[in-house]
Structure 1
Amino acid sequence: MTDPLVTLDNVTVRFDDRPAVDRVNLNVHRGDIITIIGPNGAGKTTLIKALLGLQPITGGKVQRASGLVIGYVPQNLQMEATLPLSVKRFMALSGRSRGECLKALARTGIEHLVNASVHHLSGGEKQRLLLARALARKPDLLVLDEPAQGVDINGQAALYELIRELRDELRCGVIMISHDLHLVMAATDKVICLNQHVCCSGFPADISHDPAFIETFGQSVAESVAVYHHHHNHRHNLHGDVVLGQSSPADSHGDSCNHVHH
């Protein structure tokens, strides 16, 4: 196995002498999709910011591979409503060339919005714009904080499928935070359940049976996650609508899925 892109060794972050993150160990390699789950206030965003170097740590060590390029997708896009800003201008702020920006917009399925106002985008379009900005950096590691926030359930499935495709194309690592337990179990390779410390971690198929997972989320959630399956027989467009048959990339860039619950 290759050396990790990022290693967290007993990382601790304290606020007012209370641990927001307590002695967390984590390795992220190329090809990984690791999802951090946990209740509100569990320290998930704090952990991500520590990994990025945006949050000082009070204990432990964060090691990043030499020359590591990180693409960061924050939880949401907060802009001053009176500030005029087009998608094209927003992408230009990334410092990448116009060609690289247009290519990234095309890959996330929103190149047709290049002249649109950022303020007029839907939730799903905003998330794809943030992903495009990160993608333009050609990252070794994609870090996503609630990437499907503000996106309906079908749009979420399409977005998670796109993240998997980008992982394969870029040969990058992916680490993300998610509250969408059902969808994330189909979209990730490894799950880490965080509640200040790591309660449990493992493969999605196994973790729902872990006593610590059941204690954190409840028996009913654990049972519903355990029986979730994700199959593919149709496509979704950017708004999460089902699209039958062939369609243009601008209209249906996403996954093919059929959500089966028992």
Structure 2
Amino acid sequence: MSEALVQLQRVTVQFDDRPVVDQVTLQASRGDIITIIGPNGAGKTTLIKTILGIQKASQGRVSLAPGLTIGYVPQHLTLEATLPLSVRRFMLLSGQSLTDCRAALKRTGVDHLLDASVHHLSGGEKQRLLLARALARKPDLLVLDEPAQGVDINGQAALYELIRELRDELHCAVIMISHDLHLVMAATDKVICLNQHVCCSGYPADISHDPAFIETFGHQVAESLAVYHHRHNHSHDLHGDVVDTKGTQGACNHEHH
């Protein structure tokens, strides 16, 4: 049985006596990729902050494995525009060694940007930088809030593929929030549909048939997910361009059914 790293038992978070997260129970074990989906205002980011210890639960219990190391990828990178900051400096602010920082940047495909200004990075480069910063900690648990924010569709597919690879390499657990439902269904092991409370949860292949999922996202979305299959005969590079198995660029050939 896989080691449980995080357990939430009937967790409620209230603001002004109004429950933003209501009686949520979940468990993440090593090897899991759990994706939290739901409409705007559903409490997804609040739930993540509660797991991270940034937000205190009003009720219930949050249990973390002893000595747990967490790597966190926030939704946005907010920096003072007039503050000069290189990728190297940004990474070293994490408290990790330059060797570990370089290795993490290389693994996420942005080591060539070591001396670049963080302000001049593209959306995809920023997300990979944030992922590298979390990766440098060698986390047991990787927590990602909308990791593909600001990344184009092909770059999103490559990013989710990288997250799965990192899960395998680190044998960590992954909890992430996402709105990219089609891509998430191919990239996750379990889906939790949140709308303050847990509406439904389960395997991606099953969740689209759940009445609570259909009520939350509508029949059209549910039907499109039910018949969606995504197969690759290639890979994408950092910029979303197609690279075939021989390493040459070409046209994208996705098959959706």
TM class, shorter-chain normalised? over 0.9
Distance 2:4 2:58 in 1: 22
Q: Deviations over 1:195-222 (max 9, x none)?
A: 0000000000000000000000000000
The one-letter amino acid paired with 1:97 is S
Classify the secondary structure of the residue corresponding to 2:191.
strand
Classify the secondary structure of the residue corresponding to 1:233.
coil
Structure 1 match to 2:89: 89
Structure 1 match to 2:256: 261
Distance 1:46 1:191 in 2: 17
Q: How many residues align?
A: 255
Structure 1 match to 2:56: 56
Percent identical among aligned pairs is 78
Alignment partner of 1:222 is 2:205: no
Distance 1:102 1:72 in 2: 18
Q: Is contact 1:229–1:259 with CA below 8 Å preserved after alignment? A: no
The one-letter amino acid paired with 1:219 is H
Alignment partner of 1:42 is 2:42: yes
The one-letter amino acid paired with 2:167 is R
1:92 positional shift: 0.4
Structure 2 match to 1:177: 177
Residues 1-262 of structure 1 aligned to structure 2 (within 5 Å)? 1-247=1-247, 258-262=253-257
Distance 1:142 1:245 in 2: 29
Distance 2:142 2:175 in 1: 6
Q: Is contact 2:232–2:255 with CA below 8 Å preserved after alignment? A: no
The two structures, once aligned, show a CA RMSD in angstroms of: 1.3
Classify the secondary structure of the residue corresponding to 1:99.
helix
Q: Is contact 1:10–1:59 with CA below 8 Å preserved after alignment? A: yes
Q: Deviations over 1:176-235 (max 9, x none)?
A: 000000000000000000000000000000000000000000000001111111212112
Unaligned runs of 5+ in 1: 252-256
Classify the secondary structure of the residue corresponding to 2:4.
coil
Classify the secondary structure of the residue corresponding to 1:132.
helix
Q: Deviations over 1:52-87 (max 9, x none)?
A: 100011000000000000000000111111100000
Kindly report structure 1 stretches of 4+ aligned residues shifted beyond 4 Å.
Answer: none
Distance 1:80 1:241 in 2: 31
* TM-score (norm. length: structure 1): 0.95
1:258 positional shift: 4.8
